[in-house]
Amino acid sequence: MQLPADPIEAARTWARHDPDPETRAELEALIARGAREELAERMAGTLRFGTAGLRGVVGAGSNRMNRAVVIRASCGLADWLIERGLAQRGPLVIGRDARLSSEALCRDAIAVFAAKGLEVRHVPEPCPTPAVAFAARACGAVAAVVVTASHNPPEYNGYKVYGPDHVQIVPPVDAEIAARIAAAPFADEVPRVDDPLAHPRVRPLEGLRERYLAALDGCLAPRPERPGLRVVYTAMHGVGAAYALAALERAGLGAIEPVREQIEPDGRFPTVRFPNPEEPEALALAHALAERTGADLVIANDPDADRLAVSVPGRTGGFEPLTGNQIGALLGDHLLEHASCDRPFVVRSIVSSPLLDRVAAAHGARSVATLTGFKWIWHAALELEGRGEGTFVFGYEEAIGFSVWSQVRDKDGISAAAVLAQLAERERRAGGSLRARLERLYRAHGVWVSVQHSVWRPGLEGRREIEQAMAQLAERRPETLGGAAVERVIDYREGAQARPSYLGRAELVELQLGESGRALVRPSGTEPKLKIYVDLCAPADGEIARIEREQRERARAVALELARFVGLEG
């Protein structure tokens, strides 16, 4: 497909070939107004595969999520499978979340796959992303697709792709598929079957929830005889409730109270501005319910249920969220404590806290760091296991993504919730709590505090500002940060040949501050922002709460100092 360089002419060409009358009319209205600047952004190339496949704002144009983009993406993926000789070796599994456009986009994808001769197994109802990843492995799929934008705001949607190894695609596969997409014809020229769900090559995946839950039983401890843990759960208007509530019930809890206002799937996300459980306001209803009911724990999934957020009673009242790094340390310590395999290893993303490294060492286990994105965590797990270097036990990323079992080769907020709840119940029965266990880890390994600072820069101009900020770090680096000397700088844009494949070239710079911690800078793969991560460590030689508070303030100051250094304040 070739589009003219002029944005208005490009929009005219795209609109002529857009099979969706709504987005076609949207583009035609912008053309009629002569909205050159907006059209330049909408037609600025096509959506690229990032850390989560395709993802973008829903709307008209080649640089938006819409039916035309999904049709061409599905054509490219199908062509890649056919050329690799994979199309006849197993089915393609596809599912979707409950966003307003997901059903139509999923249907278009199925129509393309069926026309290309692929056997398709689709999940009939909206379902969690990890359930589709589970189904891909259970069915021996040659690929899987989930139409989802995970925790992004309601105006977004996405197209997540798993390869034949049932892991999210990584280079060079993503580039190979992108090349097939670029070579695909205009959307209205891509063959599609008329009634995809009735086509003989398309069959529904029935009983997926029951199969997932039955498999999950294998990684849960036996149910306690007299459970007493009281949990509040929210699905954040997503698709996780049916799976998560059943998983928590199987874990054996005293009582589970759902947040009724957020339990049903609703792509409008009416009670939250940003349906990401990392955002404090997104948990407001769950915290209020937990206080009213005297709960011990708050558990939240994001809308596609691949992430897990946890809140515990605050030291001075109310409920306080644990960070992804704190949850990761708790889960990693728990799973390593009970690991029965030879040479266990854990995997974390490079921007996640080094605390896990110290926890793993205490258990005689190996800890491995990867590039950001869960695709790299499982890519590393399979590579290391394939070389006979041990057994994968746990993987996590600080953005509340956790992998606690091998049946889902991706982050899974449902299984992680069940395992975490069992850990909380175990600590309660011993007279402790998750917070008390975390403080024991701090006493043993130092008080680690992590802060993330994001600088948003939307639009084409914002993209250029982020690129300039990263370019500046290639030319000069700060000598100190937060009063600590920058002892070493690792630029992951260089030297990839000397590192393992899962820690290859990336737009990422790490500034090491010796024993006191580090800072990292990278552009987001899915959103228009620059991310700064700061991890600091201090000896646990006093009140933990005070040390945490002081280190967190220092970490925020380091993040702001680094943002100013690269010319992106605010």
Catalytic residue among 102, 150, 352, 450, which? 150
> H/E element holding 462?
helix 459-475
Q: What are the DSSP calls for 68-95, one per residue?
A: HHHHHHHHHHHHHHHHTT-TTSSPEEEE
Q: Give the position of tokens 């889960």.
A: 331
Vertex 83 angle, CA 78 and 84, to 5°: 100
Single-letter residue type at 299: I
Kindly give the residue spans of alpha helices, DSSP state H, lying in 17-124: 21-33, 36-42, 67-83, 102-115
Q: ω into residue 4 within 30 of 0, thus cis?
A: no
Kindly give the residue spans of alpha helices, DSSP state H, lying in 204-323: 208-216, 241-251, 284-293
Q: Which residues, at least 6 apart from 341, have a Cβ–Cβ distance to it below 8 Å?
A: 390, 391, 393
> H/E element holding 530?
strand 529-538
The two three-digit tokens of residue 545, written as one number: 């709460």
How many Å apart are CA 283 and CA 272, to the nearest integer? 9
Is 150 annotated as catalytic? Answer: yes
* 508 alpha carbon, distance to own chain's centre: 18
Helix (H, G, I), strand (E, B) or coil at 437: helix
Q: Which residues, at least 6 apart from 113, have a Cβ–Cβ distance to it below 8 Å?
A: 74, 78, 92, 94, 120
How many Å apart are CA 166 and CA 151, to the nearest integer? 22
Vertex 324 angle, CA 318 and 325, to 5°: 110
**Which residues form the catalytic set?**
150
